[in-house]
Amino acid sequence: MLKLNHISKYYNAGTVNEMCLFQDFNLSVEKGQFVSVVGSNGSGKTSMLNIICGSIPVDSGTIYMGNKNITPLPEFKRLRSIGRVYQNPAMGTCPHMTILENMALADNKGQSFNLRPGIRRQRLDFYREQLKTLGLGLEDKLQVKAGVLSGGQRQAMALLMASMTPIEFLILDEHTAALDPKTAETIMELTGKIVKEKKLTTIMVTHNLRYAVEYGDRLLMMHQGKSVVDITGSQKAEIRIEDLLEKFNAISIECGN
């Protein structure tokens, strides 16, 4: 499904501040897999997502989605089949547009943004139904601007919007990090439900080890641009937070933290 082959990425190449982020990094994700990614700050988790989405270019290596080489494609073209939810809840919605308008925007992804009416009346019930699944009462606030919603509400909408149209890939970039524990819990449950229902291939970066253990069928721990832990199947099912924490600490001590 997704293949990163021999990816290299340097920051500030050629200067004294040169920093190697990835050197010959390889990753392959099967169709339908839900990968949780953990790792310390600066380990390359978010950079990896950015490389997949095309937000930052690679120095060398190729990225395949299915059988297609997407390396030369710009970000917006890659996102045709990718849904992405960011850490910042404000990134997933338009604050000055109403909930209805936001839903209509997301609904139109992959189609032409032409001169036909922005809101399709016949889709109203569908939007309400979708919003209802969030259980936040947003279905009754269609005319409210997204900007007045709370972070959790916005993130729930962002998740909904990112996965509304048929996509193959869902990218979650620490999408619960900016939320309070209770809201984060709700959003995670929602995430699990959506991924399961739509059978999406998913990569989730998180700092919450418990989520990493509880969700997903594959676990990746990143450190200095390499995956130091990569477990799937029964191994993944059996791993406990304590094991993970231990490994985490081992790496950190190695680094002198």
Partner 1 sequence: MTLFLGIIEEGLIYAIMALGVYITYKILDFPDLSVDSTFPMGAALTASAILAGISPVAALFLSFLAGAAAGCVTGLIHVKLKVRDLLSGIIVMTGLYSLNLRFAGGRANVPIFTQETIFENPFLGSVVPQGLTAFAVVLILFFIVLVCKVLLDLYLNTRSGFLLRAAGDNETLVTSLAKDKGTVKIAGLAIANGFASLAGSVYCQHKGFFEISIGTGTIVMGLASVIIGIQVFCPDHRPYLFRLFGRTIGMRPTTAVIAGSIIYKACISLAISLGLEANDLKLITSMLFLIILVISAQRRKKVKAHA
Give 239's DSSP letter: -
17: contact with partner 1 by CB under 8 A = no
Q: Would you give the binding string for partner 1 spanning residues 45-84, x where CB under 8 A is met?
A: -----------------------------xxxx-xx--xx
256 CB neighbour count, 10 Å cutoff: 5
Smaller CB separation from partner 1, 75 or 230: 75
Cα–Cα distance measured from residue 222 to residue 241, given in angstroms and rounded to the nearest whole number = 16
Q: Which region among 21-29, 37-45, 116-124, 210-218 touches partner 1 (by CB under 8 A)? A: 116-124
Q: Give the residue carrying structure tokens 């990225």.
A: 63
108: contact with partner 1 by CB under 8 A = yes
110: contact with partner 1 by CB under 8 A = yes
174: contact with partner 1 by CB under 8 A = no
Element (H, E) at 232: strand 226-232
Smaller CB separation from partner 1, 74 or 137: 74
Question: How far is CA 47 from each of CA 24, 69, 99, 125, 225, rounded to the nearest angstrom?
Answer: 14, 19, 31, 38, 9
122: contact with partner 1 by CB under 8 A = no
Smaller CB separation from partner 1, 79 or 212: 79
90: contact with partner 1 by CB under 8 A = yes
* Cα dihedral 184→246→47→198 (10° resolution): -50
- Number of residues in contact with partner 1, rule: CB under 8 A? 35
Residue 120: what residue type? Answer: R
86: contact with partner 1 by CB under 8 A = yes
Angle between helices 99-107 and 151-162 (to 10 degrees): 20
152: contact with partner 1 by CB under 8 A = no
40 CB neighbour count, 10 Å cutoff: 17
142: contact with partner 1 by CB under 8 A = no
118: contact with partner 1 by CB under 8 A = yes
Smaller CB separation from partner 1, 90 or 241: 90
Cα–Cα distance measured from residue 58 to residue 38, given in angstroms and rounded to the nearest whole number = 22
Cα–Cα distance measured from residue 220 to residue 133, given in angstroms and rounded to the nearest whole number = 30
119: contact with partner 1 by CB under 8 A = yes
| Contacting positions for partner 1 (CB under 8 A) | 74-77, 79-80, 83-84, 86, 90-97, 101, 104-106, 108-119, 145, 162
